[in-house]
Structure 1
């Protein structure tokens, strides 16, 4: 079986589109998201450019990318209007890969190319961080911001500060205000490394560091199906990638830049806006919050994947009711916008092609609950004068997940009816729950004591939640019912109301 290359893909000729994008990161997400988008632009004659991929760490996929001449197969699968849809396509937007740990000069040469005007990145959430040990003489420095700073300074020097050579920088890391954070670190490095003030002025005035929000589930190399897919495709692709159909890229920036990156014109779900806050709110509260509020109950129920949860008669109803009846009504934004997004979220949760394990979503649950679900509880009560029952049950279920747990190493061995499982969270959080549950005596008063101690943890919630009217008592009531009768009884009664 031949390996994927231009010949296997049926691509004739040797004409390579000009390199116009520098991309930090060669992993599954960027290839299934950004590189797929540029491929769609090129297919429609709207961009005429290729992507140079830079490997952000010493070991990575660049050798494979170059071996396959930048090509990879993308498999997109999901539900559309309730029906399963599958699309397979060879993506050809990548020109080559560079490993700056071995080819630093080749990396800097890209800065001398006027055609390269866009930079995208996804170096994990920890990638946009200041590293005090980075120095300008390092080839390369450790952090992504330092590598970017040296690239931009080289470009500034090479083109003698020409305003027309400024870059449009679109970080895709999943942190709030990613563009602002990246810009601040680059400017800090420029000051610490005592580069000319003129460079900092050029950086501020002629480069765009845009805040973005990205959304697409990418599952990566479909290992379980690889042999069958290889047979079906007729070639071997070591970079085979899979993801869901849904995609959204929200970019906060001036509208004139949208003309240079005409994604929307190509029919792609890319939104240019002067305020991305509403889009971030709906994603965190509905998509992420929908997962976070339902998974503890579903896991205690005995289910293992999101798909099982959505197909389950009781838990599936619980999720839908929590999203439509409590989360959406809590958000002080356009209800049509929120409901439309909620519809897409429910369809995505039902995607039969993605096996999303509940235990992996439970990772660091306490911190996730604070940002994703707690605001919905508080704002629902503020607007409707009562607590949202299902979201309070989700809080009680989350607390119950830690019951009977024992610390082992950096994790916790905990119990559910289906057996033992390992719970991963910050060690202080695990130790806190072990200590709190150790005093529980299986009484209503004991449940109230557990609720009071947990809700008083300001380090966990950012405030004393005992001050929220009725929350302590209602959480304690559900805690007792879950421990005495089981989550199945509690959820069934709640859904039937």
Structure 2
């Protein structure tokens, strides 16, 4: 018999499941958050839950919000559970479960008037976002795109916005009219310089309909940069079944994640903030070194193992790390090509960080899939691999393994594994990538001529030659033999 999660059943939870260590009735709102998904609940909601359990910052509880009709399903599940979530942290040798109570309300998704009205109230001092990279309306050069249809629509009808940014602009106008200081806008997405990106999106949209107000936002609203990190897979029947069988709790939308978590923020919160440093968050003057380290070593490392594993029909990430060739491939690239292009990070040992990444990737309980890591390479490669490659070329560093990683991605996008198994579409640009990848089998340069991804790198003779060498070998000898060649000789 399992216990159905709700406020009424918190006192009857199994002993193995920790309940919120505080009176939720004593919480008051301070943060409105767009994007109540798994990562938000495993990260920001978890930090706040820990803080509330210490009896601190009880006036910073979460109010959820969303802009898509599709978010109503998740909201209904959480509403039936009184906004509670079971968080299961999994390490190789143990798992723990805790019920999070830090969210106390969740507005109806896509109800713009209600969301705007709530943000306009003085108790909301932070508006945070976990809306994925696509929610920031970036073009191929990662700049705000004023021609995006959703932005054009909000600019034409600012009184009836559909995007999170349009709603924030309307709320900020209402606050200014009422003499209420502006809230801080806190991005919690995995985007380089995420505070700057968020500011550009908000000001960029405002400028299309009210340039003067865009200037006011730029001068008066804080956008702290932050680096966030926690591996958090999607929830499915597997996770719900594990929670029921191992912990005796029925939760319609639990969150499973690794034990490790990191949150590094600039301390720029004019209306105050929760005392998150008391529960492990780091407040620093400059997030950039931490951000660059993560993007290159962790996110870049994910790309390194993803495509050889995908081509070798490996399903789970931890299974990829169990393969000696893939593990050796990752270690060699990290140590000889990626880490040399990462500047020093305050109070951080880079070799120890690389070893930590290996352990995290090897966690057998997370259930993270290779296919997820392979997803959206046309957006991820320019952020996680190409900058490191450019620095290596500029600084005279080693880059053969990075060229091989690019070749592996090209080979993956040809749409079939080494054993002939078809690869289902796994990129927003899949229909465009596949024919180019197939053409590159005969003419490798065709792949590098994708200017939006490689820019002028197609004209770098050394890189182009290395790429062509590895891509030819992948088609001729297969992934395993190609990895052997790189690991043994480079």
Give the TM-score normalised by the residue count of structure 2: 0.84
| d(CA) in 2 for partners of 1:357, 1:100 | 29
Per-residue CA deviation, residues 346-383 of structure 1 (Å, 9 max, x unaligned), is: 11110111223323322333553333223333433444
Contact 1:307 1:351 in 2 (8 A): yes
Match of 1:281 in 2: 292
| d(CA) in 2 for partners of 1:101, 1:456 | 41
| d(CA) in 2 for partners of 1:471, 1:111 | 50
Contact 2:63 2:107 in 1 (8 A): yes
Highest RCO, 1 vs 2 (Cα 8 Å, sep ≥ 6): 2
Match of 1:354 in 2: 366
| d(CA) in 1 for partners of 2:128, 2:89 | 22
Q: What's the C-alpha RMSD, in Å, of the aligned pairs?
A: 3.0
| d(CA) in 1 for partners of 2:242, 2:474 | 44
Give the one of 78, 86, 90 matched to 1:65. Answer: 78
Number of aligned positions between the proteins: 459
| d(CA) in 2 for partners of 1:485, 1:372 | 27
| d(CA) in 2 for partners of 1:187, 1:259 | 22
Where do residues 48-197 of structure 1 align in structure 2 (5 Å cutoff)? Answer: 48-49=58-59, 50-59=61-70, 60=72, 61-79=74-92, 84-99=93-108, 101-102=110-111, 104-105=113-114, 107-111=115-119, 113-129=121-137, 131-134=151-154, 135-138=157-160, 141-158=161-178, 160=179, 162=180, 165-190=181-206, 192-194=208-210
The change in CA–CA distance for 1:293 and 1:151 in structure 2 (over 3 A counts) is: same
Per-residue CA deviation, residues 335-355 of structure 1 (Å, 9 max, x unaligned), is: 954323222211111011122
Per-residue CA deviation, residues 389-416 of structure 1 (Å, 9 max, x unaligned), is: 33233233333334xx4xxxxxxx4242
| d(CA) in 2 for partners of 1:122, 1:204 | 21
Where do residues 404-415 of structure 1 align in structure 2 (5 Å cutoff)? Answer: 405=414, 413-415=415-417
| d(CA) in 2 for partners of 1:367, 1:347 | 26
1:330 aligns with 2:341: yes
| d(CA) in 2 for partners of 1:454, 1:222 | 36
Q: Bigger shift: 52-61 or 9-18?
A: 9-18
1:299 aligns with 2:310: yes
The change in CA–CA distance for 1:78 and 1:418 in structure 2 (over 3 A counts) is: farther
Per-residue CA deviation, residues 105-128 of structure 1 (Å, 9 max, x unaligned), is: 4x3443454332121111222223
Give the one of 402, 427, 441 matched to 1:391. Answer: 402
Match of 1:18 in 2: 28
Contact 1:170 1:211 in 2 (8 A): yes
Match of 2:49 in 1: 39
How far residue 206 of structure 1 moved from its aligned partner, in angstroms, is: 4.2
| d(CA) in 2 for partners of 1:205, 1:314 | 52
Contact 1:119 1:168 in 2 (8 A): yes
How far residue 428 of structure 1 moved from its aligned partner, in angstroms, is: 3.0
Give the TM-score normalised by the residue count of structure 1: 0.82
Match of 2:17 in 1: none
Per-residue CA deviation, residues 98-154 of structure 1 (Å, 9 max, x unaligned), is: 11545834x34434543321211112222234612122432xx21110111122222
Where do residues 177-326 of structure 1 align in structure 2 (5 Å cutoff)? Answer: 177-190=193-206, 192-194=208-210, 203-254=217-268, 260-266=273-279, 268=280, 270-326=281-337
The change in CA–CA distance for 1:180 and 1:454 in structure 2 (over 3 A counts) is: closer
Contact 1:75 1:89 in 2 (8 A): yes
> Where in structure 2 are there 5+ consecutive unaligned residues?
12-19, 138-145
Contact 2:328 2:487 in 1 (8 A): yes
| d(CA) in 2 for partners of 1:14, 1:487 | 54
| d(CA) in 2 for partners of 1:320, 1:273 | 29
| d(CA) in 1 for partners of 2:122, 2:201 | 24
> Where in structure 1 are there 5+ consecutive unaligned residues?
406-412, 441-449
Per-residue CA deviation, residues 259-309 of structure 1 (Å, 9 max, x unaligned), is: 73321222x2x2323322222211221111112123222333343332111
The change in CA–CA distance for 1:395 and 1:115 in structure 2 (over 3 A counts) is: closer
| d(CA) in 2 for partners of 1:103, 1:423 | 34
How far residue 250 of structure 1 moved from its aligned partner, in angstroms, is: 2.4
How far residue 97 of structure 1 moved from its aligned partner, in angstroms, is: 1.2
How far residue 257 of structure 1 moved from its aligned partner, in angstroms, is: 6.4
How far residue 386 of structure 1 moved from its aligned partner, in angstroms, is: 5.8
The change in CA–CA distance for 1:113 and 1:295 in structure 2 (over 3 A counts) is: closer
The change in CA–CA distance for 1:379 and 1:189 in structure 2 (over 3 A counts) is: closer
Per-residue CA deviation, residues 62-91 of structure 1 (Å, 9 max, x unaligned), is: 233232222111111125xxxx33221010
| d(CA) in 2 for partners of 1:112, 1:423 | 42
